[in-house]
Structure 1
């Protein structure tokens, strides 16, 4: 785990700050809108149990899972105790950038998702004002201690696992100011960012679907006449001779 010290001691604690509330509002709105249109039976949110990102989901079984107390299921994200092809939706809210082995987590998610299952990831964008703040700062405290993952790199990882990108967007275009008052003064950058510098948002959302290649048998078009000529001739038995022979044997 990265060395996260000073200021916020956990991501949930940081979400309670002015900066965190600014980001959380965008993330909650995206999750509420996206999960409501995904259908299935079983959905899990890995991490951040204090925030119900599955609240608008219509799936009958919804639960949180993670290593910390407060989750419905306690587990390690890189060793998920679920059966293969058992889940319809998995949320990864800022899990990968604070993990020692994000590749293994994605492999486990791919294993437990059903074919055509959905994966939604949120992450901090290194190519943004937030990423610049981290690069020039001390990288201590949340979220700056995390390893911000470039979006093209993340897409490559997903492609190797057989995922297809279904959607996504950016948010949090304002500078990472500490107070809510100053963040509200830069609220105009949200609409401007979506229009003029869409890839420079402080956070990104990525919606991917697990694709499993299917197999369809192609039957050959047999030439019936040729097949009959190639088959060995089966001798026809003379029924009368057979019966007479059987009678003599008696």
Structure 2
């Protein structure tokens, strides 16, 4: 399999290994995003994975970058009927829906390193394998921090370099036959955790999965199905894929409930005037 084929997301997701990983990721996303509420939710890249299908926010959009390896096969020629219209800054999403986008989902083509959204305007941001294709993952994370509202949630999915799949990917890149689609080196979970903490995010949840060996044939993947339970118990951090959920924290901000009215307090040193009482007349 050539290098151009192995990093082609549509081709890879139809392979046994691709279906195996995406099925696990879809199940994890469905359970997580269903409990996140707000108004605006964005998925950056990888349209073959419907990251927001269980989310109930009224405004959900798919954001794609033509320069990304995960989105390039879907590029629409300029001026074609399926080509989306330009989006205004902020969240006034209005454009043509691409034929591969999920039903009821708006599609936006833009530079992921320069998102056309106002600061603190997005409640949920999902990045499925997006960091593995961007030329500047630090800048992309800074953009995510900029557009998320305080207490907004960030969900990151990626391949774990500290796994059997990561080892095969590293060896495959040296021989010109990589195993998973990634334009750059795989990013370890520990590095992701450090990066998001530096940006003020608080790690809420980390989950690993896909413990079967990196095999291309479906019958061999099925033979090693027993490793799912064993891996989750004995070598949890060495799963082939991971999902990270983080919350944007703003220093000095504290959420409060309903403000209670306080009774006025008299100034110190002052006392209420005594009430003059008329003495009872003697009978």
TM-score, with structure 1 as normaliser: 0.81
Contact kept in structure 2, 1:139 and 1:145, CA below 8 Å? no
| Residue 130 of structure 1 pairs with residue 165 of structure 2 | yes
Task: Go from structure 1 to structure 2 and tell me whether the alpha carbon gap of 1:5 and 1:136 turns closer, same or farther (over 3 Å shift).
Answer: closer
Task: Go from structure 1 to structure 2 and tell me whether the alpha carbon gap of 1:91 and 1:195 turns closer, same or farther (over 3 Å shift).
Answer: same
C-alpha distance in 2 between matches for 1:167 and 1:154: 12
- Pairwise mapping of residues 5-84 of structure 1 onto structure 2 (< 5 A)? 5-68=3-66, 69=75, 70=98, 72-84=107-119
Per-residue deviation, 1:146? 3.1
- Of Structure 1 and Structure 2, which has the larger fraction of its residues in helix? 1
Q: Structure 2 regions of 5+ residues with no counterpart?
A: 67-74, 76-97, 102-106, 255-266, 270-283
* Cα-to-partner distance string for 1:55-93 (whole Å, 9 max, x where unaligned): 000111111001133460001111000000000000000
Per-residue deviation, 1:145? 4.6
| Alignment equivalent of 1:152, drawn from 158, 165, 190 | 190
Task: Go from structure 1 to structure 2 and tell me whether the alpha carbon gap of 1:170 and 1:108 turns closer, same or farther (over 3 Å shift).
Answer: same
> Which is worse superposed, 107-116 or 136-145?
136-145
Larger radius of gyration: 1
> Which is worse superposed, 135-144 or 176-185?
135-144
| Residue 167 of structure 1 pairs with residue 205 of structure 2 | yes
SS of structure 1 residue aligned to 2:6: coil
> Which is worse superposed, 79-88 or 13-22?
13-22
Contact kept in structure 1, 2:7 and 2:181, CA below 8 Å? no
TM-score, with structure 2 as normaliser: 0.72
SS of structure 2 residue aligned to 1:191: helix
Task: Go from structure 1 to structure 2 and tell me whether the alpha carbon gap of 1:210 and 1:23 turns closer, same or farther (over 3 Å shift).
Answer: same
**Runs of 4+, deviation exceeding 3 Å:** 68-71, 139-142
Task: Go from structure 1 to structure 2 and tell me whether the alpha carbon gap of 1:106 and 1:145 turns closer, same or farther (over 3 Å shift).
Answer: closer
C-alpha distance in 1 between matches for 2:13 and 2:152: 28
Q: How many residues align?
A: 216
| Residue 198 of structure 1 pairs with residue 241 of structure 2 | no
Give the RMSD, CA atoms, in angstroms.
1.8
C-alpha distance in 1 between matches for 2:169 and 2:242: 16
Task: Go from structure 1 to structure 2 and tell me whether the alpha carbon gap of 1:144 and 1:82 turns closer, same or farther (over 3 Å shift).
Answer: closer
C-alpha distance in 1 between matches for 2:185 and 2:143: 20
| Corresponding position of 1:117 | 152
Per-residue deviation, 1:150? 1.4
